[in-house]
Each structure stands twice: as C-alpha cells, then as structure tokens.
Structure 1
Amino acid sequence: MFRIFGLSFFITVIALVVAFFYGGPQALVLTLILGILEVSLSFDNAVINATVLQRMSHFWQRMFLTVGVLIAVFGMRLVFPLAIVWITAGLDPVKAMDLALNPPADGAKYFADGSASYETLITAAHPQIAAFGGMFLLMLFLDFIFDGERELTWLSWVERPLQKIGELDRFPIVVALVALVVTGTLAAHTVDESKTVFIAGILGTVTYLVVNGLGEFFHVEEMEEEAERARSGPSELAKVTGKAAFFLFLYLEVLDASFSFDGVIGAFAITADPIIIALGLGFIGAMFVRSLTVYLVEKGTLSEYVYLEHGAHWAIGALAGILLFSIHTEVPEVVTGLIGVVLILAALGSSIVRNRREGDGAEGDAPVSAPQQIDA
C-alpha cells in the first residue's frame, strides 16, 4: 500500500509546503480543498483508466505514470486554462499569465478599464469546453452500453435491451450526434454559441473515434502478426506495445483531459489563482488518481468486483450529460461528484452481493486475473 501511495503522500506534503510559502495559510487551505475535491470526484476516472492500463505493457504503464502525470499536472491543470485565455481572448502567453496572477481587487469580474478578468475569460469558454469533453465521454459511454458482445451486465433490465439495439451498425454515433443537435439547439443561448457548441462537439466526437479507432486497429493488427509468428514456430510473444499501446496512451490522456474539464472549471468557484489550482488539482489530485489506478490494476480489483467497470461507465454517461446540460444551466460541482460516487458505490455493493451469492462459483463465471505489479 505504501509503495503505491507513498509518492502521492510525499508530493502532497511538498505541494502544501509550496502553497504555504506562495500564499500563506489561505493558499495552503485552498490547495488542500482542491486536492480533496479532485480525488473525491475522480474515482470513476481511476476505474476507467485501470480498465485500459491493464491491457498495456509495463513500459507503457510506466509512461502513463510518469510522462502522463506531467501532462496531467502541467498540461491540463496549468497550461490548459492559460491556453484558453490565449486563444479566446487573443492574448499572448505572458499577458495571460500576468492576468491570471493579478486579478481585479475584491474578486471583481472586470478591471477598472472594463477588461475581463482571467476567471471571466475561462468561464466564457465553458460552452466549447463542455461540448468537447461531454461528447468525448458520451461516445465512451455509448460504445460500452451498446456493446452487444459484452456478456456480463449490471443493470440488465436496461443494458440487455440497449445491447440488442446496439447491433445496429454505428448506432452510438447516431445517438451522440442527436444529443449534440439537441444540445446545440436548445442549450446554447445565442446563434454564435450554438455554432461554437456544434464545432466543439463534433471535434470531441471525431477525437474519440480517431484515437480509439487507431488504438483498436493497431491492436488487432499486432495480434494477427503475433498469431502468424506463433504458427511459424516458437518465438517471444508480443504484448500490447508499439503503435497499439501508443494510441492507447493517447486515448488515456485525452480521456483524463475530458474528465478534468469540469474539475478545472469548477476550481474557479474556489480560487482563480493558476498556481493554487495546479498544486491542488495537479500535484495532489492527479497523483492520487494515478496511485488509485495502479492499486486497482495490481490488486485485480476490477476482476474481483465485476460491476465496478459498469458503474464507472454509467458515471461517465452521467458526467457527459451534466457537461452538455451545463452549457445552458450551471450545475454545482458537488452534484456531479455525488452522482459518480453513488453509481460507483452501488456497483461495488452489487459486486459484493454477487460474490457472496455465488461463492466459489463466481470465479468460474468471471475468472479473476492474476494481479500484476506496475513498476512506476
């Protein structure tokens, strides 16, 4: 346990010390609040990460836990909010950083000269952020829920009929595009905002299809090559590496980014300081999410509690819907988090009941894979 979470605790202490010297006790408290908020809202993220990570070789697992952490901490929690200001406000990076570090007095949204604050500019960009992230996550949920080849179901009274409907080719894409049309037509406030939502939503859908599709394509290609080598004679078996693992890595990073969109935006309800946001969401939150991911993989938790993956995907579907709905109406961060937590806990409880009911027979129905150790 300490080997998995020890580094996260160490970095948490460092982040809190840095926050204290940066902004005193207030900055320390805000950083801690953001860290706790990120961890509590990201359990579904860790579960989904684990389902993908356990398919990858040790090398690419380490890449996700090292390079991936840097992308999550500096890319999504620090550079991403600044990049939004660069793009939407037409400011150069230096000006954007200066705007972030020097907000208006008394928490005002505008400066005396009428120019918008950093927080205001970020909030104004919410429709395109929510549309992109919402559509990416919605595609992930729909692909899972309409998958007719999935034998195990959790909410069978809902999932079985949806699996039958999912036998129609490309049906998840149809549902996603209909959801985007409804969102862009009804949720957006103006014509320009509708166009923005449509463009961002289409880009989110395309990003999912391309990254996920390439990962699956190269995975199948490498599996066929491995089978051919096996027929030719004994050789070293290939794991999910190379191009397949690379695109799985990209898929994980885009997935993590989509999960973090609402967290980054929601953080501005607590503070607009980019340094505190990076320390709380990135150094504390992102590190603990990765440690939790490693724990789930190494302990074989997803194989033992078979409905966890289902609960996580339903939580993703709920988050996608909330992101799209939030384009029109603000949704409190606590609501988003509670829905995900309730679904995960319900899936965990169902898994425990199933294991107790079936006893030793449960192992025959759902084989428990051997736990694997990740060398972080």
Structure 2
Amino acid sequence: MQLLKTLRWSFVITIIGLIAAYLYGGATGLAVTAILIVLEVSLSFDNAVVNAKVLVRMSEFWVKMFLTVGIIIAVFGMRLIFPLVIVFVTAGLSPVEAWQLALEKGDPHVEGTYGWYLEEARPLIAAFGGMFLLMIFLDFVFDDEKEHHWIAPVEKAFKKAAAFPAISPAIGLIVLFIFGTIFEEYRADMLYAGVMGIVLYLVVGGLGDFFDGGFDDDDDSEEAQAARAKGEVAKATGKAAFSLFLYLELLDASFSFDGVIGAFAITSDPIIIAIGLGVGAFYVRSITIHLVHQGTLSEYVYLEHGAHWAIAALAFLLLISPGYHAPEVVIGLIGVGFIAAAVWSSRRYNAAHADEDHSLHV
C-alpha cells in the first residue's frame, strides 16, 4: 500500500505521457511509449537501490531537489538533450540542424541519420559510462568496512586487496586498456572517454570528501555523532549535499546511456524516446524514495550487494557494446535477476538470524 502511495505521481505522469504519445504518434506511438517505459523501469532497479544509499544521507531540502530539479535533468537533459548534443558534436552540425535531423526519424542503420550518428558515438559513450559505473562497483567491493559479504569468497578476496593504495582506479585503468586493445578500431576514443569517466568519478567523490559530506559514514561532527547515537544516518547539507546531488545525477546519466542508445533499436523518434524513457525515470525516482522511507536497505542486508553486482554487469555490457550490443531485454533481466537474488538471500539471512535471536531468548 505504501509503495502504491509513493508511486501515485508516477501513475499520473504515465497517463499524461501516454496521452501525449497518442496525440503525437497515434496508436503506434502509444504502444512504443509503453514498451519504452517498461524497458526503462526494468533497466533501473539497481539504479534505484544505489540512489537510495546516497539519498538517505541527504537533508529533506536536497531530497526535494532530487525529485524536482533532478527529474528535469534526467528527463529533458539525458533523455532528450543529451542525444542531440552527441549528434551535433560528432556530426559537426549546429543544434538546430541536429534537431531537424532528429525530427526526420530516419533509420538508425542508414548513414547520416540521427540514430546512425548516435550509434557511431557508442564507443565514446560506452567507455565513459562503463568506467564510471565500474568505479562505483570497485569502490564498493574494495570497501574493507562492509559488515556483510554476499558472494563471500569473491568479496573477501577483494577486501584483502583493499590494502593496496589506489586499487580501484588502477584496476579500472587496466580494464580500460584491455577493452581498448580488444576493440583496436576504437582504442583512442575508448581510452580518452574511459579516462574521463574515471577522472570525473574521482573528482565528484573528492568534492564530497572535501566538503566533509563524503559517501560514507565517517563524519565525526557533533551532528553526525548525535545522529548515530539515535541510530540514524547523519544528513549532509550545503556543499556536501550538493556534491552528493551531482554524484546522483552523474550516476543516473551513466545508467541511462545504454537505455537511450538502445531505445533506437525500438524507434528512431526522439520525441517518443524522450516520453517513454522520461516516464520510466519518474518510476525510478519513486522507487528510490520508497526504499529510503521504508528503510529497505537495512532490512535486506544484501540488496546493496546485488545492486552493485548488477552495476558491474552493466559496466561490462557497456564496455563490450562497441563490438556486441546485448538486447535490452537481456540487460534488464540481468539487473532484475541480481536484485531478486539479493532479496532472496536477505530473507534467508533474516530468517536464520531470527531463529538465532529466538534461541538466545529461550
């Protein structure tokens, strides 16, 4: 019931979006938009879980910013403006010419069309987004303060390796070099974009630490200590919260790269793509808020683990996409599969420890 209440605005936006799609593209536009909404939601369960981990650290004001300004950036910035920017930069067109080309709805398999230019930019986009997501996964598995280990043998091995300084960016660069070697035709583009993805991740993370917000629970301020004494999470405000907000937007952008390009396999109409993926983005926001309000991350101890392993899978699929693009349904099922497995493991863990707690009280 609480989830339905949280999703109410997403339902409203869905109705508005479907009506707009019908008025714009008729029955076909309506059907394709519905498919894109399902695609975006299925691809983004892991995104919502990771978003929730960050959002729980932010004050109520910045939560509202995430739901208002953030959704505008997600819908119009990443789902509509970003593809246009890619086209007019890579094709040497003006923004107006790129928009006119987009409205022609040309076949993405035909040279010179809007979708074709986006496909040509895939190595750059894949390397940038893939490395940004890979850094998120690496920092998670190399965290030596995690209380629980889901895939225990692997995660414990990663934990031991965390003693090496700068292990995450070092492995990230090695992985990038390997994929740049595999796809020799795109090596220069992938190395350039991949390094930029790593640098941007480190810069945003560094800003969080600089402003004493960070992405962890090591804040020793009086407010943080008081919050921990009450069993609560210290809330970041001001510049610290702003750095977390930037991190969330970059995270959403990285998750949306594959969905935006993959949508052109379904339709080459940028308006329908923006409507469908935009409505899906509202559901991701609603699910994120539900996870925060319900305390689901603490209730399901392996949910965060599952989300990060799903992120690793998505990073890998992005990095191989210059040579092989996995069907969107496969990408979605992998993410949902990791989340479902993590929920099942968490319930088993809770049941086992409930029995232990009961035996201790008998």
Q: What TM-score does the superposition give when structure 2 sets the normalisation length? A: 0.91
Tell me by how many angstroms 1:157 deviates.
1.2
Residue in structure 1 matched with residue 209 of structure 2 by the alignment: 216
* Comparing 212-221 and 351-360, the one that deviates more: 212-221
Query: SS state of the match for residue 69, structure 2?
Result: helix
Match in the other structure for 1:23: 25
Matched, 1:256 2:233: no
CA contact (8 A) 2:130 2:315 kept: yes
* CA distance, structure 2, for counterparts of residue 70 and residue 350 of structure 1: 36
CA distance in 2, matches of 1:202, 1:89: 23
Q: 1:183 aligns with which of 173, 179, 182?
A: 179
Gaps of 5+ in 2: 227-233
User: Which of 323, 326, 334 is the equivalent residue of 2:329?
Assistant: 334
1:10 corresponds to: 12
Deviations 1:21-44 (A, max 9, x none): 101000000001000110011100
Structure 1 residue 170: Cα displacement: 0.7
- Say if 2:54 is the partner of 1:59: no
1:92 pairs with one of 91, 94, 97:
94
Query: How far, CA to CA, are the matches of 2:187 and 2:193 in structure 1?
Result: 10
Matched letter for residue 171 of structure 1: I
Contact 1:109 1:116 in 2 (8 A): no
Amino acid in structure 2 at the alignment position of 1:60? W
Cα displacement string for residues 319-365 of structure 1 (whole angstroms, at most 9, x for unaligned residues) = 111111112222222221111111111110000001111117679xx
- Measure, in 1, the Cα distance between the counterparts of 2:45 and 2:225: 40
Tell me if the contact between 1:77 and 1:264 (Cα under 8 Å) persists in the aligned partners.
yes
1:173 maps to what in 2? 169
TM-score by length of 1: 0.88
Task: From 339, 348, 361, give the equivalent of 1:344.
Answer: 339
- Residues 100, 220 of structure 1: CA spacing in aligned structure 2 closer, same or farther, 3 A cutoff? closer
Contact 1:138 1:320 in 2 (8 A): yes
Partner residue, 2:319: 324
Question: What secondary structure is seen at the aligned counterpart in 1 of 2:211?
Answer: helix
Name the CA shift for 1:268/1:134 in 2 (closer, same or farther; >3 Å). same
Paired-residue identity, %: 56
State the aligned residue count: 347
Q: From the superposition, tell whether residues 220 and 26 of structure 1 become closer, same or farther in structure 2 (CA, over 3 Å).
A: closer
Deviation of the 1:70 alpha carbon: 0.2
What are the superposed Cα offsets for residues 238-267 of structure 1, whole Å, 9 maximum, x if unpaired? 841011100000000000000000000100
Q: Distance in 2 between matches of 1:328 and 1:229?
A: 50
Report the CA distance shift for 1:229/1:135 in structure 2 as closer, same or farther (over 3 A).
Answer: closer
Contact 1:135/1:320 (<8 A) preserved:
yes
Report whether the alignment pairs 1:203 with 2:205. no
Q: Distance in 2 between matches of 1:223 and 1:148?
A: 17
Asked if 1 retains the 8 angstrom alpha-carbon contact of 2:108 and 2:119, the reply is: no
SS in 2 for 1:219: coil
> Aligned partners of 2:191 and 2:357: how far apart in 1?
46
CA contact (8 A) 1:355 1:362 kept: no
Matched AA of 1:67: V
Instruction: Name the residue aligned to 1:233.
Output: none
Mapped to 2, the partners of 1:278 and 1:29 lie a distance apart of 14
Instruction: Please list every run of 5 or more consecutive structure 1 residues that lacks an aligned counterpart in the other structure.
Output: 231-237, 364-376
After superposition, residues 108-127 of structure 1 pair within 5 angstroms as 109-110=109-110, 116-127=112-123
Residue of structure 1 in register with 2:231 after alignment: none
Q: Deviations over 1:274-323 (max 9, x none)?
A: 100010001x1000000000110001111101100000000001111111
Residues 87 and 117 of structure 2 are in contact (CA less than 8 Å); yes or no, is this contact kept in structure 1? yes
Distance 2:134 2:254 in 1: 10
Q: Is the 8 A contact 1:211 1:251 kept in 2?
A: yes
C-alpha distance 108-255 of structure 1, shift in aligned 2 (>3 A): closer
